[in-house]
Amino acid sequence: MLTIHIFVFLTAATHQLAFAARKDVDQIVSLPGLTYDVEFKQYSGYLQGTTGVNLHYWLVESQSATPSTDPLIVWLNGGPGCSSVKGLIKELGPFHPNPDGATLFENVYSWNKKANVLFVEMPKNTGFSFQNTSLNNGTTYNDETTGADTLAAVKDFFDSYPEYKIRDFYVMGVSYGGVYVPLLTNLLIKEIQAGRLTANLVGIAIGNGQLNVTQIINSNMVLLYAHGLIGKDDWNSLQKCCPNTTLVDCDFSQWLTLNTDGVPYPVNITTECGGIVADLGLARVWATLNNVYNIYQDCYQKPATSSKTSFASSEVPLPSSRSAENAFIDQGSMINWASTDAFGGYSCYADSAAEKFLNTPTVRDALHIPSEAPTWQTCSEDVNQKYIREYLDTTSLFDFIIGSGYKLKMLIYNGDVDTACNFLAAEWFIEELKTKYNMTITETRHPWYFQQAPQYSLQLAGYQKSFGFRNVTIDLVTVKGSGHYVPMDRPGPALQMITNFINNANY
Protein backbone atom coordinates (compact mmCIF):
# COMPACT_ATOMS: atom_id res chain seq x y z
CA MET A 1 0.00 0.00 0.00
CA LEU A 2 2.86 2.34 0.88
CA THR A 3 4.46 1.60 -2.48
CA ILE A 4 1.24 2.60 -4.29
CA HIS A 5 1.01 5.89 -2.37
CA ILE A 6 4.64 6.70 -3.16
CA PHE A 7 4.05 5.92 -6.83
CA VAL A 8 0.96 8.19 -6.95
CA PHE A 9 2.85 10.97 -5.21
CA LEU A 10 5.81 10.69 -7.54
CA THR A 11 3.54 10.59 -10.61
CA ALA A 12 1.70 13.78 -9.53
CA ALA A 13 4.99 15.49 -8.73
CA THR A 14 6.41 14.49 -12.11
CA HIS A 15 3.41 16.02 -13.87
CA GLN A 16 3.78 19.23 -11.88
CA LEU A 17 7.46 19.45 -12.81
CA ALA A 18 6.64 18.78 -16.46
CA PHE A 19 4.08 21.58 -16.55
CA ALA A 20 6.42 23.96 -14.73
CA ALA A 21 9.20 23.14 -17.18
CA ARG A 22 6.88 23.71 -20.14
CA LYS A 23 5.82 27.10 -18.75
CA ASP A 24 9.46 28.11 -18.26
CA VAL A 25 10.30 27.08 -21.82
CA ASP A 26 7.38 29.08 -23.23
CA GLN A 27 8.18 32.32 -21.39
CA ILE A 28 9.16 35.15 -23.73
CA VAL A 29 12.45 36.36 -22.31
CA SER A 30 13.02 39.20 -24.77
CA LEU A 31 10.81 40.41 -27.61
CA PRO A 32 12.66 42.22 -30.43
CA GLY A 33 11.39 45.61 -31.50
CA LEU A 34 9.98 46.86 -28.20
CA THR A 35 10.53 50.58 -27.73
CA TYR A 36 9.58 50.63 -24.05
CA ASP A 37 10.11 48.47 -20.97
CA VAL A 38 7.60 45.66 -20.47
CA GLU A 39 6.99 44.85 -16.81
CA PHE A 40 4.60 41.92 -17.18
CA LYS A 41 5.29 38.29 -18.03
CA GLN A 42 4.28 36.79 -21.35
CA TYR A 43 4.38 33.31 -22.82
CA SER A 44 4.21 31.86 -26.33
CA GLY A 45 4.07 28.24 -27.38
CA TYR A 46 1.66 25.52 -28.42
CA LEU A 47 -1.44 23.94 -26.93
CA GLN A 48 -2.64 20.54 -28.06
CA GLY A 49 -5.92 20.35 -29.92
CA THR A 50 -7.19 17.00 -31.15
CA THR A 51 -4.62 14.48 -32.43
CA GLY A 52 -1.89 16.17 -34.49
CA VAL A 53 -3.28 19.72 -34.11
CA ASN A 54 -0.93 22.28 -32.55
CA LEU A 55 -2.61 25.59 -31.74
CA HIS A 56 -0.30 28.52 -31.06
CA TYR A 57 -1.02 30.61 -27.99
CA TRP A 58 0.31 33.88 -26.63
CA LEU A 59 -0.46 34.75 -23.00
CA VAL A 60 0.09 38.25 -21.67
CA GLU A 61 -0.24 38.54 -17.90
CA SER A 62 -2.09 41.43 -16.31
CA GLN A 63 -0.27 44.73 -15.83
CA SER A 64 -2.26 45.54 -12.68
CA ALA A 65 -0.85 45.36 -9.18
CA THR A 66 -2.59 42.01 -8.66
CA PRO A 67 -1.96 39.81 -11.73
CA SER A 68 -2.07 36.66 -9.57
CA THR A 69 -5.76 37.24 -8.78
CA ASP A 70 -6.94 39.03 -11.93
CA PRO A 71 -9.31 37.14 -14.26
CA LEU A 72 -8.38 35.30 -17.44
CA ILE A 73 -9.74 36.24 -20.87
CA VAL A 74 -9.47 33.74 -23.73
CA TRP A 75 -9.60 35.76 -26.97
CA LEU A 76 -10.64 34.36 -30.37
CA ASN A 77 -10.55 36.24 -33.67
CA GLY A 78 -12.93 35.30 -36.49
CA GLY A 79 -12.67 35.00 -40.25
CA PRO A 80 -12.90 32.03 -40.26
CA GLY A 81 -9.14 31.78 -40.66
CA CYS A 82 -8.05 35.07 -39.06
CA SER A 83 -5.35 34.92 -36.44
CA SER A 84 -6.11 35.72 -32.80
CA VAL A 85 -2.59 37.15 -32.57
CA LYS A 86 -3.97 39.75 -34.97
CA GLY A 87 -6.24 40.65 -32.06
CA LEU A 88 -3.20 40.95 -29.81
CA ILE A 89 -0.95 43.02 -32.03
CA LYS A 90 -3.56 45.07 -33.87
CA GLU A 91 -6.46 45.50 -31.47
CA LEU A 92 -6.45 44.88 -27.70
CA GLY A 93 -2.92 43.68 -26.91
CA PRO A 94 -0.20 45.59 -25.03
CA PHE A 95 1.70 46.76 -28.10
CA HIS A 96 1.08 47.74 -31.72
CA PRO A 97 3.43 47.72 -34.71
CA ASN A 98 4.96 50.88 -36.11
CA PRO A 99 4.80 51.45 -39.89
CA ASP A 100 8.33 50.06 -40.26
CA GLY A 101 7.13 46.59 -39.27
CA ALA A 102 10.23 46.29 -37.10
CA THR A 103 9.34 48.11 -33.89
CA LEU A 104 6.43 48.17 -31.45
CA PHE A 105 4.82 51.02 -29.52
CA GLU A 106 2.76 50.75 -26.35
CA ASN A 107 -1.02 50.42 -26.43
CA VAL A 108 -1.99 52.32 -23.29
CA TYR A 109 -5.52 50.92 -23.57
CA SER A 110 -4.48 47.27 -23.63
CA TRP A 111 -6.97 44.90 -22.07
CA ASN A 112 -4.21 43.29 -20.04
CA LYS A 113 -4.24 46.46 -17.96
CA LYS A 114 -7.08 44.72 -16.11
CA ALA A 115 -6.86 41.01 -16.96
CA ASN A 116 -4.60 38.18 -18.07
CA VAL A 117 -5.32 37.62 -21.76
CA LEU A 118 -4.77 34.38 -23.65
CA PHE A 119 -4.81 34.58 -27.45
CA VAL A 120 -5.37 31.21 -29.18
CA GLU A 121 -4.79 30.91 -32.94
CA MET A 122 -7.49 28.66 -34.38
CA PRO A 123 -8.63 26.81 -36.52
CA LYS A 124 -5.62 24.64 -37.38
CA ASN A 125 -3.18 26.19 -39.89
CA THR A 126 -4.24 29.72 -38.89
CA GLY A 127 -1.48 32.11 -37.88
CA PHE A 128 1.39 30.07 -36.42
CA SER A 129 -0.83 27.04 -35.70
CA PHE A 130 -0.17 23.88 -37.67
CA GLN A 131 -0.99 20.19 -37.85
CA ASN A 132 1.26 17.17 -37.89
CA THR A 133 0.07 15.53 -41.10
CA SER A 134 1.72 12.22 -40.21
CA LEU A 135 -0.71 12.02 -37.26
CA ASN A 136 -3.63 13.90 -38.78
CA ASN A 137 -3.89 14.64 -42.48
CA GLY A 138 -7.51 15.79 -42.30
CA THR A 139 -8.42 18.80 -44.43
CA THR A 140 -11.89 19.42 -42.99
CA TYR A 141 -12.55 22.84 -41.53
CA ASN A 142 -15.88 23.44 -39.82
CA ASP A 143 -17.39 24.73 -36.60
CA GLU A 144 -17.52 21.37 -34.83
CA THR A 145 -13.88 20.42 -35.53
CA THR A 146 -12.75 23.93 -34.58
CA GLY A 147 -14.76 23.75 -31.36
CA ALA A 148 -13.23 20.37 -30.47
CA ASP A 149 -9.69 21.63 -31.12
CA THR A 150 -10.20 24.82 -29.14
CA LEU A 151 -11.75 22.98 -26.19
CA ALA A 152 -8.80 20.57 -26.09
CA ALA A 153 -6.39 23.52 -26.24
CA VAL A 154 -8.12 25.35 -23.38
CA LYS A 155 -8.04 22.20 -21.24
CA ASP A 156 -4.36 21.81 -22.08
CA PHE A 157 -3.78 25.40 -20.99
CA PHE A 158 -5.42 24.83 -17.60
CA ASP A 159 -3.25 21.74 -17.13
CA SER A 160 -0.11 23.73 -17.92
CA TYR A 161 -1.20 26.81 -15.95
CA PRO A 162 -3.24 25.30 -13.08
CA GLU A 163 -3.21 28.56 -11.13
CA TYR A 164 -5.90 29.84 -13.51
CA LYS A 165 -8.36 27.05 -12.69
CA ILE A 166 -9.81 29.00 -9.75
CA ARG A 167 -9.75 32.42 -11.43
CA ASP A 168 -12.76 34.10 -13.01
CA PHE A 169 -12.56 33.08 -16.65
CA TYR A 170 -14.09 34.67 -19.76
CA VAL A 171 -14.38 33.62 -23.41
CA MET A 172 -14.37 36.60 -25.78
CA GLY A 173 -14.08 37.15 -29.51
CA VAL A 174 -14.91 39.24 -32.54
CA SER A 175 -16.66 38.77 -35.90
CA TYR A 176 -16.95 35.03 -36.62
CA GLY A 177 -16.24 34.81 -32.92
CA GLY A 178 -20.02 35.24 -32.81
CA VAL A 179 -19.99 31.51 -33.62
CA TYR A 180 -16.73 30.46 -31.95
CA VAL A 181 -17.54 31.98 -28.54
CA PRO A 182 -20.98 30.46 -27.84
CA LEU A 183 -19.88 27.14 -29.40
CA LEU A 184 -16.81 26.90 -27.15
CA THR A 185 -18.93 28.05 -24.20
CA ASN A 186 -21.36 25.18 -24.81
CA LEU A 187 -18.53 22.67 -24.82
CA LEU A 188 -16.96 24.16 -21.67
CA ILE A 189 -20.28 24.11 -19.80
CA LYS A 190 -20.77 20.43 -20.70
CA GLU A 191 -17.25 19.60 -19.46
CA ILE A 192 -17.66 21.58 -16.24
CA GLN A 193 -21.09 20.17 -15.44
CA ALA A 194 -19.88 16.62 -16.16
CA GLY A 195 -16.93 17.09 -13.78
CA ARG A 196 -14.34 16.68 -16.53
CA LEU A 197 -12.99 20.25 -16.20
CA THR A 198 -12.25 22.49 -13.25
CA ALA A 199 -12.63 26.10 -14.38
CA ASN A 200 -14.54 29.12 -13.14
CA LEU A 201 -16.23 30.27 -16.36
CA VAL A 202 -18.23 33.37 -15.43
CA GLY A 203 -18.90 35.25 -18.67
CA ILE A 204 -18.58 35.74 -22.42
CA ALA A 205 -18.28 38.79 -24.66
CA ILE A 206 -18.84 39.03 -28.42
CA GLY A 207 -17.82 42.08 -30.44
CA ASN A 208 -19.52 42.74 -33.80
CA GLY A 209 -20.33 39.07 -34.00
CA GLN A 210 -21.91 37.01 -36.76
CA LEU A 211 -24.92 35.80 -34.80
CA ASN A 212 -27.45 35.39 -37.61
CA VAL A 213 -26.53 35.87 -41.28
CA THR A 214 -30.11 36.50 -42.40
CA GLN A 215 -30.55 39.32 -39.87
CA ILE A 216 -27.28 40.91 -40.98
CA ILE A 217 -28.48 41.00 -44.61
CA ASN A 218 -31.91 42.35 -43.71
CA SER A 219 -30.62 45.04 -41.37
CA ASN A 220 -27.87 46.19 -43.74
CA MET A 221 -30.50 47.47 -46.18
CA VAL A 222 -31.77 49.89 -43.54
CA LEU A 223 -28.30 50.94 -42.43
CA LEU A 224 -27.01 51.59 -45.95
CA TYR A 225 -29.93 53.89 -46.66
CA ALA A 226 -29.67 55.67 -43.32
CA HIS A 227 -25.98 56.36 -43.90
CA GLY A 228 -26.50 57.60 -47.46
CA LEU A 229 -24.81 54.65 -49.14
CA ILE A 230 -27.87 53.85 -51.23
CA GLY A 231 -30.23 56.50 -52.60
CA LYS A 232 -33.96 57.18 -52.59
CA ASP A 233 -34.56 55.49 -55.94
CA ASP A 234 -32.79 52.34 -54.70
CA TRP A 235 -34.80 52.44 -51.49
CA ASN A 236 -38.06 52.79 -53.38
CA SER A 237 -37.16 49.88 -55.65
CA LEU A 238 -36.88 47.64 -52.59
CA GLN A 239 -40.52 48.31 -51.77
CA LYS A 240 -41.52 46.31 -54.84
CA CYS A 241 -40.01 43.24 -53.18
CA CYS A 242 -41.98 43.69 -49.97
CA PRO A 243 -45.26 45.33 -50.98
CA ASN A 244 -47.17 44.18 -47.89
CA THR A 245 -44.79 45.26 -45.13
CA THR A 246 -42.50 48.10 -44.15
CA LEU A 247 -38.95 47.83 -45.40
CA VAL A 248 -37.65 47.72 -41.82
CA ASP A 249 -39.64 44.50 -41.31
CA CYS A 250 -38.97 43.00 -44.76
CA ASP A 251 -37.23 39.64 -45.03
CA PHE A 252 -34.94 40.34 -47.97
CA SER A 253 -33.28 36.97 -47.47
CA GLN A 254 -36.20 35.30 -49.26
CA TRP A 255 -34.48 36.38 -52.46
CA LEU A 256 -31.15 34.86 -51.40
CA THR A 257 -29.77 31.42 -50.65
CA LEU A 258 -26.92 30.66 -48.25
CA ASN A 259 -24.47 27.97 -49.31
CA THR A 260 -22.23 25.90 -47.02
CA ASP A 261 -19.51 28.55 -46.98
CA GLY A 262 -22.05 31.01 -45.54
CA VAL A 263 -21.98 33.31 -48.55
CA PRO A 264 -25.40 34.49 -49.75
CA TYR A 265 -26.28 34.28 -53.44
CA PRO A 266 -29.42 35.46 -55.22
CA VAL A 267 -32.00 32.74 -55.73
CA ASN A 268 -32.39 33.99 -59.28
CA ILE A 269 -30.42 37.08 -60.26
CA THR A 270 -32.47 37.42 -63.45
CA THR A 271 -35.62 38.21 -61.46
CA GLU A 272 -36.10 41.83 -60.54
CA CYS A 273 -35.96 41.33 -56.76
CA GLY A 274 -33.12 38.81 -56.96
CA GLY A 275 -31.02 41.36 -58.81
CA ILE A 276 -32.02 44.28 -56.57
CA VAL A 277 -31.28 42.47 -53.31
CA ALA A 278 -28.00 41.04 -54.64
CA ASP A 279 -26.90 44.51 -55.67
CA LEU A 280 -28.01 46.51 -52.64
CA GLY A 281 -27.57 43.87 -49.95
CA LEU A 282 -24.31 42.32 -51.13
CA ALA A 283 -22.45 44.29 -53.80
CA ARG A 284 -23.05 47.65 -52.08
CA VAL A 285 -21.69 46.20 -48.84
CA TRP A 286 -18.70 44.16 -50.03
CA ALA A 287 -17.90 45.33 -53.55
CA THR A 288 -17.36 49.07 -53.45
CA LEU A 289 -14.53 51.37 -52.41
CA ASN A 290 -16.26 51.83 -49.03
CA ASN A 291 -14.61 50.11 -46.06
CA VAL A 292 -17.07 47.35 -45.10
CA TYR A 293 -15.67 47.28 -41.56
CA ASN A 294 -15.97 51.01 -40.92
CA ILE A 295 -17.91 53.17 -43.34
CA TYR A 296 -16.15 56.34 -42.16
CA GLN A 297 -12.61 54.96 -42.51
CA ASP A 298 -10.73 55.51 -45.76
CA CYS A 299 -7.16 54.53 -46.48
CA TYR A 300 -5.14 56.42 -49.08
CA GLN A 301 -4.08 53.81 -51.62
CA LYS A 302 -1.86 53.88 -54.68
CA PRO A 303 -3.76 54.77 -57.88
CA ALA A 304 -5.47 51.81 -59.54
CA THR A 305 -3.82 50.48 -62.68
CA SER A 306 -7.21 49.93 -64.33
CA SER A 307 -9.89 52.46 -65.17
CA LYS A 308 -12.32 50.33 -63.17
CA THR A 309 -12.32 48.39 -59.94
CA SER A 310 -11.99 44.63 -60.06
CA PHE A 311 -15.52 44.05 -58.79
CA ALA A 312 -17.50 42.54 -61.64
CA SER A 313 -20.79 43.00 -59.84
CA SER A 314 -20.31 46.68 -59.10
CA GLU A 315 -17.85 48.36 -61.43
CA VAL A 316 -17.18 51.92 -60.43
CA PRO A 317 -15.36 54.27 -62.83
CA LEU A 318 -12.45 56.08 -61.25
CA PRO A 319 -12.06 59.84 -61.69
CA SER A 320 -10.33 60.88 -64.90
CA SER A 321 -7.04 62.74 -64.66
CA ARG A 322 -7.09 66.54 -64.72
CA SER A 323 -4.50 69.09 -65.60
CA ALA A 324 -2.13 69.94 -62.78
CA GLU A 325 -3.19 73.59 -62.63
CA ASN A 326 -6.83 72.62 -62.06
CA ALA A 327 -6.29 69.60 -59.80
CA PHE A 328 -7.48 69.64 -56.21
CA ILE A 329 -4.63 69.29 -53.74
CA ASP A 330 -5.56 67.72 -50.41
CA GLN A 331 -3.74 69.92 -47.92
CA GLY A 332 -4.60 67.59 -45.04
CA SER A 333 -2.89 64.64 -46.70
CA MET A 334 0.39 66.54 -46.51
CA ILE A 335 0.14 66.15 -42.72
CA ASN A 336 -1.71 62.83 -42.40
CA TRP A 337 -0.65 60.99 -45.53
CA ALA A 338 -2.05 57.56 -44.69
CA SER A 339 -5.78 57.90 -44.13
CA THR A 340 -8.72 60.02 -43.04
CA ASP A 341 -8.58 58.82 -39.42
CA ALA A 342 -7.11 60.53 -36.38
CA PHE A 343 -4.58 57.79 -35.62
CA GLY A 344 -2.04 58.45 -38.36
CA GLY A 345 -3.43 55.73 -40.58
CA TYR A 346 -2.75 53.00 -38.01
CA SER A 347 -5.67 50.83 -39.14
CA CYS A 348 -4.45 51.08 -42.73
CA TYR A 349 -0.91 49.83 -42.17
CA ALA A 350 -1.43 47.60 -39.11
CA ASP A 351 -1.97 44.34 -41.01
CA SER A 352 1.05 44.61 -43.29
CA ALA A 353 3.27 45.88 -40.48
CA ALA A 354 2.17 43.01 -38.21
CA GLU A 355 2.93 40.43 -40.91
CA LYS A 356 6.38 41.89 -41.49
CA PHE A 357 7.14 41.98 -37.76
CA LEU A 358 5.89 38.48 -36.89
CA ASN A 359 7.73 36.86 -39.80
CA THR A 360 11.08 38.29 -38.77
CA PRO A 361 13.32 35.33 -37.85
CA THR A 362 14.38 36.81 -34.50
CA VAL A 363 10.74 37.40 -33.55
CA ARG A 364 9.76 33.85 -34.49
CA ASP A 365 12.62 32.60 -32.33
CA ALA A 366 11.54 34.76 -29.40
CA LEU A 367 8.01 33.33 -29.71
CA HIS A 368 9.33 29.75 -29.90
CA ILE A 369 7.88 29.16 -33.38
CA PRO A 370 9.30 26.01 -35.03
CA SER A 371 10.32 25.85 -38.67
CA GLU A 372 7.33 23.66 -39.61
CA ALA A 373 4.91 26.42 -38.57
CA PRO A 374 3.59 28.47 -41.51
CA THR A 375 4.45 32.01 -42.49
CA TRP A 376 2.23 34.21 -40.33
CA GLN A 377 -0.72 35.90 -42.06
CA THR A 378 -3.41 38.06 -40.52
CA CYS A 379 -5.97 35.83 -42.26
CA SER A 380 -5.60 32.57 -44.19
CA GLU A 381 -7.50 32.61 -47.48
CA ASP A 382 -6.98 28.86 -47.79
CA VAL A 383 -8.66 28.15 -44.43
CA ASN A 384 -11.45 30.59 -45.18
CA GLN A 385 -12.25 29.06 -48.55
CA LYS A 386 -12.29 25.48 -47.20
CA TYR A 387 -14.26 26.30 -44.06
CA ILE A 388 -17.83 24.94 -43.79
CA ARG A 389 -19.98 27.24 -41.66
CA GLU A 390 -22.43 25.14 -39.68
CA TYR A 391 -24.04 27.87 -37.57
CA LEU A 392 -25.38 30.57 -39.87
CA ASP A 393 -27.85 31.18 -37.04
CA THR A 394 -26.45 30.72 -33.52
CA THR A 395 -29.81 30.68 -31.73
CA SER A 396 -29.45 26.99 -30.88
CA LEU A 397 -26.09 27.67 -29.19
CA PHE A 398 -27.64 30.36 -27.01
CA ASP A 399 -30.61 28.09 -26.34
CA PHE A 400 -28.26 25.51 -24.85
CA ILE A 401 -26.50 28.07 -22.65
CA ILE A 402 -29.79 29.40 -21.33
CA GLY A 403 -31.28 25.92 -20.88
CA SER A 404 -28.20 24.49 -19.14
CA GLY A 405 -28.95 26.39 -15.94
CA TYR A 406 -25.29 27.49 -15.81
CA LYS A 407 -24.79 30.94 -14.31
CA LEU A 408 -23.31 33.20 -16.97
CA LYS A 409 -23.15 36.87 -17.86
CA MET A 410 -22.94 37.98 -21.48
CA LEU A 411 -21.82 41.17 -23.21
CA ILE A 412 -22.86 41.66 -26.84
CA TYR A 413 -21.15 44.84 -28.05
CA ASN A 414 -21.02 46.50 -31.47
CA GLY A 415 -19.26 49.40 -33.09
CA ASP A 416 -22.12 51.26 -34.77
CA VAL A 417 -20.53 52.02 -38.17
CA ASP A 418 -19.68 48.45 -39.18
CA THR A 419 -21.60 46.88 -42.08
CA ALA A 420 -19.94 43.44 -41.97
CA CYS A 421 -21.65 42.44 -38.70
CA ASN A 422 -23.76 45.43 -37.79
CA PHE A 423 -25.24 46.56 -34.48
CA LEU A 424 -28.85 46.41 -35.66
CA ALA A 425 -28.62 42.69 -36.48
CA ALA A 426 -27.18 42.04 -33.00
CA GLU A 427 -30.03 44.02 -31.45
CA TRP A 428 -32.64 42.06 -33.41
CA PHE A 429 -30.97 38.79 -32.39
CA ILE A 430 -30.99 39.57 -28.66
CA GLU A 431 -34.50 41.02 -28.78
CA GLU A 432 -35.71 37.76 -30.34
CA LEU A 433 -34.13 35.82 -27.47
CA LYS A 434 -35.78 38.22 -25.04
CA THR A 435 -39.18 37.53 -26.60
CA LYS A 436 -38.62 33.78 -26.83
CA TYR A 437 -37.77 33.44 -23.12
CA ASN A 438 -39.85 36.37 -21.86
CA MET A 439 -36.69 37.91 -20.39
CA THR A 440 -36.86 40.75 -17.92
CA ILE A 441 -35.52 44.11 -19.11
CA THR A 442 -33.25 45.02 -16.23
CA GLU A 443 -32.10 48.30 -17.79
CA THR A 444 -33.97 50.13 -20.52
CA ARG A 445 -31.93 51.51 -23.41
CA HIS A 446 -29.88 54.50 -22.28
CA PRO A 447 -26.57 56.22 -23.10
CA TRP A 448 -23.30 55.33 -21.44
CA TYR A 449 -20.33 57.69 -21.20
CA PHE A 450 -16.58 57.72 -21.50
CA GLN A 451 -14.51 60.05 -19.35
CA GLN A 452 -10.86 60.45 -20.26
CA ALA A 453 -9.89 62.22 -17.05
CA PRO A 454 -11.61 63.95 -14.12
CA GLN A 455 -10.98 67.40 -15.58
CA TYR A 456 -12.89 66.55 -18.78
CA SER A 457 -16.61 66.43 -19.19
CA LEU A 458 -18.36 63.14 -19.91
CA GLN A 459 -18.37 62.01 -23.54
CA LEU A 460 -21.14 59.94 -25.11
CA ALA A 461 -19.68 56.48 -25.77
CA GLY A 462 -22.75 54.59 -26.99
CA TYR A 463 -25.94 52.98 -25.74
CA GLN A 464 -26.78 50.08 -23.45
CA LYS A 465 -29.74 47.82 -22.71
CA SER A 466 -29.73 44.87 -20.30
CA PHE A 467 -31.77 41.69 -19.91
CA GLY A 468 -32.06 38.88 -17.39
CA PHE A 469 -33.48 35.36 -17.35
CA ARG A 470 -32.85 32.89 -14.53
CA ASN A 471 -29.05 32.46 -14.30
CA VAL A 472 -28.24 34.46 -17.44
CA THR A 473 -27.73 38.20 -17.88
CA ILE A 474 -27.16 39.94 -21.23
CA ASP A 475 -25.80 43.45 -21.77
CA LEU A 476 -26.39 44.82 -25.28
CA VAL A 477 -23.96 47.69 -25.88
CA THR A 478 -23.12 49.95 -28.82
CA VAL A 479 -19.85 51.90 -29.14
CA LYS A 480 -20.33 55.20 -30.90
CA GLY A 481 -18.19 55.88 -33.96
CA SER A 482 -16.47 52.50 -33.96
CA GLY A 483 -16.37 49.99 -36.75
CA HIS A 484 -15.85 46.22 -36.69
CA TYR A 485 -12.76 46.32 -34.45
CA VAL A 486 -13.86 48.25 -31.36
CA PRO A 487 -10.59 48.05 -29.36
CA MET A 488 -8.75 49.53 -32.37
CA ASP A 489 -11.26 52.23 -33.36
CA ARG A 490 -12.32 53.33 -29.85
CA PRO A 491 -9.60 52.00 -27.54
CA GLY A 492 -10.45 54.13 -24.50
CA PRO A 493 -14.18 53.38 -24.38
CA ALA A 494 -13.44 49.72 -25.22
CA LEU A 495 -11.15 49.29 -22.20
CA GLN A 496 -13.65 51.09 -19.95
CA MET A 497 -16.46 48.88 -21.26
CA ILE A 498 -14.64 45.57 -20.73
CA THR A 499 -13.28 46.61 -17.31
CA ASN A 500 -16.73 47.49 -16.01
CA PHE A 501 -18.26 44.34 -17.52
CA ILE A 502 -15.71 42.21 -15.65
CA ASN A 503 -16.22 44.19 -12.43
CA ASN A 504 -20.05 44.25 -12.66
CA ALA A 505 -19.84 48.03 -12.61
CA ASN A 506 -21.84 50.74 -14.37
CA TYR A 507 -20.48 51.07 -17.89
The catalytic residue positions are 175, 418, 484
Torsional sign, CA 58, 64, 68, 73: negative
For residues 111 and 36, the answer to whether their CB atoms sit within 8 Å is no
Q: Of 432, 458, 420, which Cα lies nearest the Cα of 207?
A: 420
Expressed in angstroms, the distance from the first to the final Cα of the chain is: 58
The DSSP secondary-structure symbol of 506 reads -
For residues 418 and 293, the answer to whether their CB atoms sit within 8 Å is yes
Specify which residues 287 forms β-bridges with.
none
Specify which residues 44 forms β-bridges with.
58
From CA 416, how far away is CA 481, in angstroms rounded? 6
Q: Of 213, 212, 208, which Cα lies nearest the Cα of 87?
A: 208
Torsional sign, CA 193, 194, 195, 199: negative
Q: Of 422, 500, 433, 429, which Cα lies nearest the Cα of 461?
A: 500
**AA letter at 437:** Y
Burial degree of 148 (CB within 10 A; 0-12, 13-18, 19+): middle
